[in-house]
C-alpha cells in the first residue's frame, strides 16, 4: 500500500488526501477483480463492523453487510431506535462502549455533527454512511465508476442537476480531489452549502478542477461528460415534496436535456430514483445510463474502505 490508512475515519472526502482517494480507488479495482475471478480474499476474519441506522437504507446496508462478509468479517446491524441513544445516552458514551466491542463503526443518520462527535469519542474508525450534509461513500463509488467507464477522471465535466444537497456536496469534494470539473445546477434557493463550496474550491485549486454553481440546466450540460441527478426531496423533507416538484420541474433530466450534452454523455443517479420526477424512464434505462453499475460499485469501494481502515 502506498498510503497507510489503518484506523482512519471516513467522514468527508474533503478530509482525505488525494493520495488516499487514489488508494481507495486502486484497492477497489483490485478487490473487484478478485471477486470477478472468484478469488477468496478475507483479510478481516474475526473483525466486526457495527452499523447504526437512523435512516432507512437499501444500498448502504446491503453493500456494507455483504462487503464485510466477503472480507471474512461480520456486520452487526444496529437500529438506532433499539440503542440506548433513544433513552438519552450520549453519543460520547455510546462511542466509548461500542469501541470496546467492535473494530469499526458505520453510521447513517441525519445530523453530520453526530457523526463527527461519534468519531471524536471512538477508539475505532468511523465511516459516514450518509448524513444530511455528506454522502462520501457514494461519491467515492461514483469516482470509481466514472474512471472504470471513461479511463480517467481529470479534466472530465460532471454536471449535477437538482437540489444542492448532500450528494452535490460530496461530488464537489470528490471532483476537487481528482481534477474533475463539477457544475452544480440548481434553483437559486436550493444552492449547495456555502462553506462546502468554499472548501471544495480550495481543494480544486490544487488539482486544477473547476467548481461551478449555475441555475440554467440547458447551458450547464453543454459539453458534459456526465449528467448526475438525485431525488428532489431527501429523507426528512417529505412534507416539502409537492412544493419541490413544482420548483424543480425545469431541472428534470429528460431526453431533451441529455441531447444538449456530449453524444457519449453518461447518466448517473445515486438511487433510489423517483421515475418521472427528477429523471425519466427513457433516460434512466438508456444505454448511456450507468446507474446500476454505480450501485454495484458501492460494494467494491466499501470493501476497499473496510480493508484499508480496519
C-alpha cell at 277: 420526477
Which residue of the set 230, 244, 269, 302 is catalytic?
230
**pLDDT of residue 296 exceeding 90:** yes
Confidence of residue 79 (pLDDT cuts 50, 70, 90): confident
Domains of the chain by range and CATH? 13-134+297-309 (3.40.50.1370), 137-295 (3.40.50.1370)
Give residue 97's region: left, alpha or beta (phi > 0; psi -120 to 50). alpha
- 14 catalytic residue (yes or no): no
Which residue of the set 14, 244, 298, 300 is catalytic?
298
Which residue of the set 9, 59, 103, 108 is catalytic?
108
C-alpha cell at 183: 457544475
Which residue of the set 23, 138, 252, 302 is catalytic?
138
pLDDT in tens, 152-203: 999 999 999 999 999 999 999 999 999 999 999 999 999 999 999 999 999 9
Confidence of residue 42 (pLDDT cuts 50, 70, 90): very high
- 18 catalytic residue (yes or no): no
Which residue of the set 14, 112, 135, 181 is catalytic?
135
- 137 catalytic residue (yes or no): no
3-state DSSP assignment of residue 275: strand
Distance CA 162, CA 251 (A): 6
**pLDDT of residue 263 exceeding 60:** yes
The predicted model gives 77-89 an average pLDDT of 79
How many CB atoms sit inside 10 A of residue 110's CB? 16
- 287 catalytic residue (yes or no): no
Confidence of residue 86 (pLDDT cuts 50, 70, 90): low
- 96 catalytic residue (yes or no): no
DSSP codes joined into one string, 119-179: HHH-SS-EEEEE-SS--HHHHHHHHHHHHHHHS--TT-EEEEES--SHHHHHHHHHHHHHT
- 169 catalytic residue (yes or no): no
Confidence of residue 303 (pLDDT cuts 50, 70, 90): very high
Amino acid at each position: 500500500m502506498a498510503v497507510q490508512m489503518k484506523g482512519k475515519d471516513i467522514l468527508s472526502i474533503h478530509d482525505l488526501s488525494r493520495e488516499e482517494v487514489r488508494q481507495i480507488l486502486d484497492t477497489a479495482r483490485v478487490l473487484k477483480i478478485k471477486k470477478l475471478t472468484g478469488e477468496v480474499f478475507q483479510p478481516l476474519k474475526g473483525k466486526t463492523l457495527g452499523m447504526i441506522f437512523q435512516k432507512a437504507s437499501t444500498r448502504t446496508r446491503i453493500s456494507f453487510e455483504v462487503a464485510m462478509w466477503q472480507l471474512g468479517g461480520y456486520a452487526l446491524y444496529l437500529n438506532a431506535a433499539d440503542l440506548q441513544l433513544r433513552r438519552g445516552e450520549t453519543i460520547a458514551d455510546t462511542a466509548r462502549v461500542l469501541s470496546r466491542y467492535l473494530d469499526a463503526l458505520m453510521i447513517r443518520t441525519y445530523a453530520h455533527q453526530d457523526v463527527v462527535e461519534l468519531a471524536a469519542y471512538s477508539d475505532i474508525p468511523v465511516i459516514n454512511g450518509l448524513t444530511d450534509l455528506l454522502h462520501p461513500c457514494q461519491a467515492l463509488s461514483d469516482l470509481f465508476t466514472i474512471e472504470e467507464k471513461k479511463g480517467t477522471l481529470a479534466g472530465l465535466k460532471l454536471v449535477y442537476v437538482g437540489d444542492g444537497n448532500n450528494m452535490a456536496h460530496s461530488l464537489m469534494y470528490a471532483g476537487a480531489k481528482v481534477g474533475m470539473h463539477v457544475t452544480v445546477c440548481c434553483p437559486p434557493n436550493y444552492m449547495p452549502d456555502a462553506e462546502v463550496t468554499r472548501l471544495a474550491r480550495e481543494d480544486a485549486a490544487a488539482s486544477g478542477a473547476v467548481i461551478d454553481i449555475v441555475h440554467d440546466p440547458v447551458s450547464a450540460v453543454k459539453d458534459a461528460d456526465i449528467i448526475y441527478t438525485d431525488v428532489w426531496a431527501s429523507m426528512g423533507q417529505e412534507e416539502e415534496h409537492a412544493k419541490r416538484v413544482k420548483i424543480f420541474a425545469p431541472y428534470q433530466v429528460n431526453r431533451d436535456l441529455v441531447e444538449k450534452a456530449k453524444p457519449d454523455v453518461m447518466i448517473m443517479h445515486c438511487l433510489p430514483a423517483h421515475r418521472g420526477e427528477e429523471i425519466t424512464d427513457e433516460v434512466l434505462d438508456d444505454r448511456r445510463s450507468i446507474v446500476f453499475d454505480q450501485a454495484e460499485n458501492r460494494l467494491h469501494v466499501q470493501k476497499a474502505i473496510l480493508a484499508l481502515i480496519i
